[in-house]
Structure 1
Amino acid sequence: MLSLILVTLTAVAAGFAVWAADRHRDRYGALLLPGISVGAAVLTWTALQAAGAASFESEWIGWAIPVAVAILAPLVAVVPIGNSRAKADTAESERILRM
Structure 2
Amino acid sequence: MSTQDLENYESDMELQLYREYRDVVSLFTYVVETERRFYLANQVDLQVRSGGGEVFYELTLADAWVWDVYRSSRFVRSVRVVTFKDVNIEELAKPDIALP
Q: TM-score interval w.r.t. the shorter chain?
A: 0.3 to 0.5
Higher RCO structure, 1 or 2 (CA under 8 Å, sep 6+): 1
Q: Where is the helix percentage greater, Structure 1 or Structure 2?
A: 1
TM-score, normalised by the number of residues in structure 2: 0.35
Q: Where is the strand percentage greater, Structure 1 or Structure 2?
A: 2
TM-score, normalised by the number of residues in structure 1: 0.35
